[in-house]
Amino acid sequence: MDNTIRIPLDLPDVQIQEVSQNEQGEWLIRVESRIHGTQCHRCGRQITHFHGVDSAIRLRHLPLFETPVLIEICPKRYRCPHCEGHPTTTQRLSWHALRSPNTKPYEQWLLRLLVNSTIADVARTLNISDETVLGVLKRWVSPQVNWDEFESIEVVGLDEIALKRGHRDYITLVTVPLMPHGVAILAILADRKKQTVVDFFRSIPTRLRESIQRVCTDMYQGFVAAAAEEVPQARIVVDRFHVARAYHKCADAVRKHELKRLKQTLSKAEYRQIQGAMWPFRKSPDDLNDEEQALLDRLFTYSPKLKLAYTLREELTEIFERNYTKTGAQCAIRAWCKRVRKSGLDEFESFLGTVDTWLDNITNYFLEGWSSGFVEGFNNRVKVLKRRCYGILNVETMFQRLTLDLDGYEKFGFT
Ligand SMILES: [Zn+2]
């Protein structure tokens, strides 16, 4: 019975000379180029004066049944009869990049493994060093955006990221939503200073910079000022999700204060009845099941103040759900602010200040052309990207890693 199989090597332009296994059990496949001649590195002409072969190099290739495979080849060298001094040029083969210790199929496989993973994980899986993985990433993924890939940029997102929780070092993520769904990264800036963002806008080719119609941003003066100066034609939109985070925080502050008060004033048995109310309180009414609704109702009978905070919070969310015009939205939000002031809930005080400062940018959300699904989709994708940034401290590598996450399968998948 024959238990061997024959499989094609699938590397073009080479002839297999010998297959053996070394002491480590790795497959060693010795091959020879079947191509004659190369292009002179100086004059670019086709040259065929054979000069000899270089010493053998070993390149890591795709493993066979999890056994590592090395391709061994002695690169051919050719002499140019035309150039002065008759320089020699090493022949390049289509499946190997200059100075790489791996074959191209191996590197593309590695890149697919790296999508949504980490350098350390891939290095461990393949039993190679972190540096090898980084080297592959550097060879294949540009550390900067290629502007030629864009016809126009309609929307730019500016988001700040604190690299470590509670850390004060911020970087800036610059993104564009791609239709119908998707996102591309334009840059990762090393800080969030206004000047840095200004410099970035200036680095965008004029034709593209002039095509920007909206800049979506956090409520952060540095971003807004930079965008207003450098892309004056664009509307600056503080998106509703950043706003929502701010007023949800106010309602949560009321919850904390009230629960603390109730813990002191209610009997133990009574307090037990409202335990676990935090999660239902955070949900919108539509997302509550009957049990959660009952729990919230009990909580609200003990604390009318909390009911008020919850109602106000949901009223504002409701405003963002409606098809207001910009002016209509401004009226509705101002009326809401009045109700908040009347409520006497001090916890919302800071948010009223936020509305005063940002109302114009906040209500740009209601200008035509936005659908909330679009904004939410964009925002969710940015959130995923932001999460992926934690732990990557090198801004350049971060750009390459996130770009790979976004289109690695497409770029390095099977064709
Ligand atoms: Zn030449």
Query: Residue 112: which residues within 8 A CB-CB, separation 6 or more?
Result: 408, 409, 412, 413
How many whole angstroms from 85 Cα to the centroid of ligand 1? 9
Spacing, Cα 99 to ligand 1 middle (Å): 21
Three-state DSSP class for residue 259? helix
pLDDT given at position 385: 86
Distance 82 CA to ligand 1 centre (A): 5
Q: What are the pLDDT digits (tens) for 83-116?
A: 999 999 999 999 999 899 999 999 999 999 999 9
Burial class (CB in 10 A: 0-12, 13-18, 19+), 273: middle
How many angstroms separate the alpha carbon of residue 47 from the centre of ligand 1?
A: 8
- 91 CA to centre of ligand 1 in angstroms: 13
Distance 324 CA to ligand 1 centre (A): 70
With CA atoms as reference, report the closest residue to 349 among 273, 250, 208.
250
User: How many angstroms is it from 55 CA to the middle of ligand 1?
Assistant: 23
Q: What pLDDT does 180 receive?
A: 75
Examine residue 180 and say whether the peptide bond preceding it is cis (omega within 30 degrees of 0).
Answer: yes
Going from the Cα of 222 to the center of ligand 1, the distance in angstroms, rounded, reads: 54
Distance 48 CA to ligand 1 centre (A): 11
Structure tokens at 187: 């840059």
How many helices and strands, by DSSP H and E, does the chain display?
Answer: 15, 14
Domain ranges of the chain: 8-95, 147-238+371-412, 241-366
Distance 372 CA to ligand 1 centre (A): 61
Amino acid at 173: L
**How many Å lie between the centroid of ligand 1 and the Cα of residue 49?**
11
**Cα 40 to middle of ligand 1, angstroms:** 5
List 183's β-bridge partners, or say none: 177
Residue ranges for the chain with pLDDT beneath 50: none
Å from CA of 277 to ligand 1 middle: 79
Output phi, psi for 380, to 5 deg: -65, -40
Give the Å distance between the CA of 38 and the centre of ligand 1. Answer: 10
Going from the Cα of 158 to the center of ligand 1, the distance in angstroms, rounded, reads 50
Cα of 12 vs centre of ligand 1, distance in Å, is 26
Query: What pLDDT sits at residue 166?
Result: 62
Given this model, what pLDDT does residue 382 score?
Answer: 85
- Determine the distance separating the centroid of ligand 1 and the alpha carbon of 170, expressed in angstroms: 51
In tens, the pLDDT along 31-82 reads 999 999 999 999 999 999 999 999 999 999 999 999 999 999 999 999 999 9
> Under CATH, to which class is 147-238+371-412 assigned?
alpha beta
Which residues surround the ion ligand 1 when the cut-off is CB under 5 Å? 40, 42-43, 80, 82-83
pLDDT at 163: 76
β partners of residue 77? 52, 90
